[in-house]
Amino acid sequence: MTPSSSRTAFTPTRRALLALALALALVTAVPTLADSGFEFGVDQIDGDGWQARDIRVSVILTTDGPIRAEVLIKEASLPEPVGLVKGIQGRCDDLFIGTHTIRCAQASLTPGDRIASLPGFSGGFSYERDSGALSWDMTARPEPGGELRLRGAQRGTSWSIRVDTAALSAAVIAPLFTSGEDDAPELYGSLDVVLEARSAGDGFTAAYRGQAEGLGGSNTLGTSAADGVALTFEGHAHSAASGLDFDIVLDAPRGELYQEPVYVRLDDHPVELAARGQWSEAALIIENLSIEQPGVMSGNGAFELHPADASADQAIDNPKPEDTATGDPEDGNGNDEAEAETPPAWTVASGHLSLDPLILPGGYEVLMRPFLSNTDLGNMETSGSLRVDLDLKDDAPEAIDLVVENVFMDDRDGRLALYGLTANFTWARGRQQAAEAPVTIGWQGGFVYGIALDAARFEFAVEPGQWRLRQPTLIPFLGGGLALDALEIGDFTPGNARVAIDARLQPVSMLALTRALDWPPLSGNLSGVIPSMSYRDGALTFGGTLAAQMFDGEIRVSNFRLREPFNPGSRLEADIDIDGLDLKRVTEALSFGLITGKLDGYVKGLKMIDWSPVAFDARIFTPPGDKSRHRISQRAVDNIANLGGGGGAAALSKGFLRFFEDFSYSRIGLGCTLRYDTCEMSGIEPAGTGYYILRGSGLPQINVVGYSRRASWSTIVEQLKSIMESEGPVIE
């Protein structure tokens, strides 16, 4: 017989087996003269948080054997993380139906497609017809290894469940964390877990504990990964009006974790974590989070996270017009092959994190260095500690309080160091800080690209959206320093930082400066004015012309623009004018060989990438109408000839010319148009197949002619270094 299918709703106290039990009760009224059977269907069964649909029950009666029964549930909606499951099958091969009891000692259950990695459960169940009490004990032993045991009991509205795993392979549970098995993460390792839950009034309460060994895996994008993780955990949960209240304590002493861009080796920095909060479909609220990572940090916080809505997916599928615009080809920022980004699963609606302290060097290596790796701060040796309070809203910083205490930072690449760094500042979006609480930053010493810094301290008044230097401040170095007349720092939102400076360079020793920079030694002092320097959108510019006085002349820098100065691949553009340098002082400083007279010149269209020149048009020459004395030594003549690939200069050390220590000249000129490493050379004027670099006058008269029209810039630089390191030829 096949009863007609109808939409039947059952309370969760009876569950699907009650329908089966009622059907099986009819068996006693069916003649058993021959094998027979029947089946019936149930359209839907609803429970508290779950639902089963399109249920088919089949019963087979035999004359000489046990009763067999099968149940097929086409589709079930179960609580997360399980979700939608299709194709659940149950079977009993020795169904006993007594006056008071229905039981099966040889039952099996196949979980369905959602957790198909489980081969199926086997065990038994019993049902007391008088009291409605139901109990079961089922075990699965999946092929990857381990065991999963489910035990439970129900009587009326009271129920209890216990889940035990023993060395269960993590691969078994991977499909629970995705929408389908095809995109399940590759997990490995073993789990030992105990979960006990029972009814409590209209809800439930649960306790869980467990440990994992060798846990690992990664997502399909490779942005999250783990390997060899060992952890233990325990906690409690109970239902609430808002969803689920929970707490957990977790200890992870071994293994490796990666969440782009942060990598943690737990063997060096184990993690101890405790959290308490609520979970619902609308939000995950962490009321209290505490985290201890010895040698890295001690922190606590609270967060409210919301599931990301569909707008993130729409933004990827339908990018804004400006997102697909072609970038500057020189910068390599075009979007022809833009990488797709996966939208976040959760957004931080609000949150607070307090790190007290953040310990260096561990805190730098684990939490800071990954975000600074492409800057000049990405390879530092550090010590000291920080205190940080961070407020978040809508996935962005809302307020920051930072205290830096006696921090030492030393770049392993020798670019930057600060010793005894202290700082104290507060920033909040749209909030003005009280005048009695200024921002302070100071250090006891350090260096920048080899230039030693003396102690300095700054005080900033905090105004809406910016910090403003309270009073002129000197950054002392090399006997002089940088005098800051005005300094403003503002718009702290990511990508929009702004800095504006008016400053003067007080005379610093050129000898000390060139030694610090490992340049050829120069004498004298350098001073100048730095007009309206600003930094915004990753670019450093001057609002006017930078003028520096040196060698009794002036060097002026205009059209200055430096992009990404603190990152590899920085790009510099500028025009430079040289006016009236004293050649005697220049050549004495460079150990080039003595030349007297004045020198003008320019460098137009200078372009540097990562501080190496790749393009410019440069010339140095004797100023028109220069009335100063023009003399040049034998060594200087020889060095100029070598730079231009000139011939005949060696004759100075032979014949009667070797008796002259210096010579008179009328003009000097040398030019280079650089494109990457090739320099197109030029001089004063053509000279047959070459060009004049030096035109002599008087007796004896000498001329220096260059014949190299194309030269390697790196070779020229090496020649200049050799000239300055050499003492020159000895004339006898």
C-alpha to C-alpha distances, 181 to 111, 169, 196, 727, nearest whole angstrom = 14, 16, 27, 76
Residue 698 pLDDT > 70, yes or no? Answer: yes
Taking only the tens place, the pLDDT of each residue in 250-279 is 999 999 999 888 999 999 999 999 999 999
Residues 573/591, Cβ–Cβ less than 8 Å: no
Q: Does 201 share its domain with 264?
A: yes
pLDDT at 220: 79
Share of the chain above pLDDT 90, in %: 35
Residues 72/36, Cβ–Cβ less than 8 Å: no
470 found inside a domain: no
In whole angstroms, give the CA distance from residue 142 to residue 175: 14
Token look-up 């104290």 returns 424
pLDDT at 521: 67
In whole angstroms, give the CA distance from residue 164 to residue 146: 11
pLDDT at 668: 93
Confidence of residue 36 (pLDDT cuts 50, 70, 90): low
Confidence of residue 494 (pLDDT cuts 50, 70, 90): low
Residue 430 pLDDT > 80, yes or no? Answer: no
Q: Which domain holds residue 204?
A: 141-281
Q: Does 163 share its domain with 270?
A: yes
Taking only the tens place, the pLDDT of each residue in 85-108 is 788 888 888 888 888 898 899 988
Token reading at 506: 């007080």
Q: Does 576 share its domain with 662?
A: yes
Name the range with the highest mean pLDDT among 179-193, 212-226, 641-655: 212-226
Q: Does 703 share its domain with 611?
A: yes
In whole angstroms, give the CA distance from residue 238 to residue 197: 9
Peptide bond preceding 361 in cis form (omega within 30 of 0): yes
Length of the chain (residues): 732
User: Among the three residues 264, 281, 298, which one is the final residue of a domain in this structure?
Assistant: 281
Where is pLDDT greater, at 335 or 214?
Answer: 214
Q: Does 191 share its domain with 121?
A: no
461 found inside a domain: no
Confidence of residue 725 (pLDDT cuts 50, 70, 90): low
Residue 16 pLDDT > 50, yes or no? Answer: no
Confidence of residue 533 (pLDDT cuts 50, 70, 90): confident
Instruction: Give the other-Cβ count within 10 Å of 149's Cβ.
Output: 18
pLDDT at 732: 28
418 found inside a domain: no
Residue 162 pLDDT > 70, yes or no? Answer: yes
Report, as an integer, the average pLDDT of 547-573.
83
Q: Does 599 share its domain with 714?
A: yes
Return the beta strands (E) in 201-283 as ranges.
203-218, 224-240, 243-259, 262-265, 271-279
582 found inside a domain: yes
Q: Does 184 share its domain with 117?
A: no
Q: In this structure, is the dihedral angle defined by the CA atoms of residues 313, 319, 320 and 326, taken in order, positive or negative?
A: positive
Confidence of residue 575 (pLDDT cuts 50, 70, 90): very high
74 found inside a domain: yes
In whole angstroms, give the CA distance from residue 457 to residue 276: 43
Residue 412 pLDDT > 70, yes or no? Answer: yes
Q: φ and ψ at 630, to 5 degrees?
A: -110, 105
User: Among the three residues 224, 259, 281, which one is the final residue of a domain in this structure?
Assistant: 281
Q: Does 234 share its domain with 178?
A: yes
Taking only the tens place, the pLDDT of each residue in 624-648 is 989 899 999 888 888 888 876 654 4
User: Among the three residues 249, 281, 313, which one is the final residue of a domain in this structure?
Assistant: 281
122 found inside a domain: yes
In whole angstroms, give the CA distance from residue 78 to residue 52: 8
Q: Does 621 share its domain with 699?
A: yes
Residue 427 pLDDT > 90, yes or no? Answer: no
Confidence of residue 338 (pLDDT cuts 50, 70, 90): very low
pLDDT at 85: 79
Q: Does 121 share its domain with 145?
A: no
Residues 278/287, Cβ–Cβ less than 8 Å: yes
pLDDT averaged over the chain? 80
Interior CA angle at 392 toward 386 and 394, to 5°? Answer: 155
Query: Which pairs with CB-CB distance under 8 Å and at least 24 residues apart come from 231-235?
Result: 231/255, 233/208, 233/209, 234/207, 234/208, 234/209, 234/210, 235/207, 235/208, 235/209
Q: Does 185 share its domain with 257?
A: yes
Burial grade of 172 (CB within 10 A; 0-12, 13-18, 19 or more): buried
Residues 252/216, Cβ–Cβ less than 8 Å: no
Q: Does 154 share its domain with 113?
A: no
Q: φ and ψ at 589, to 5 degrees?
A: -65, -35
Token look-up 């205290």 returns 403
- Torsion, Cα of 358, 361, 367, 371 (10° steps): 130
Residues 545/513, Cβ–Cβ less than 8 Å: no
Report, as an integer, the average pLDDT of 8-32.
42
Residues 164/149, Cβ–Cβ less than 8 Å: yes
Taking only the tens place, the pLDDT of each residue in 194-225 is 999 999 888 899 999 999 999 999 887 888 89
pLDDT at 115: 57
Q: Number of folded domains in the chain?
A: 3
Residue 534 pLDDT > 90, yes or no? Answer: no
In whole angstroms, give the CA distance from residue 543 to residue 554: 19
pLDDT at 119: 67
Mean pLDDT lowest among 392-396, 505-509, 542-546: 542-546
Confidence of residue 139 (pLDDT cuts 50, 70, 90): very high
510 found inside a domain: no
Q: In this structure, is the dihedral angle defined by the CA atoms of residues 368, 370, 376 and 379, taken in order, positive or negative?
A: positive
Report, as an integer, the average pLDDT of 540-561.
85
193 found inside a domain: yes
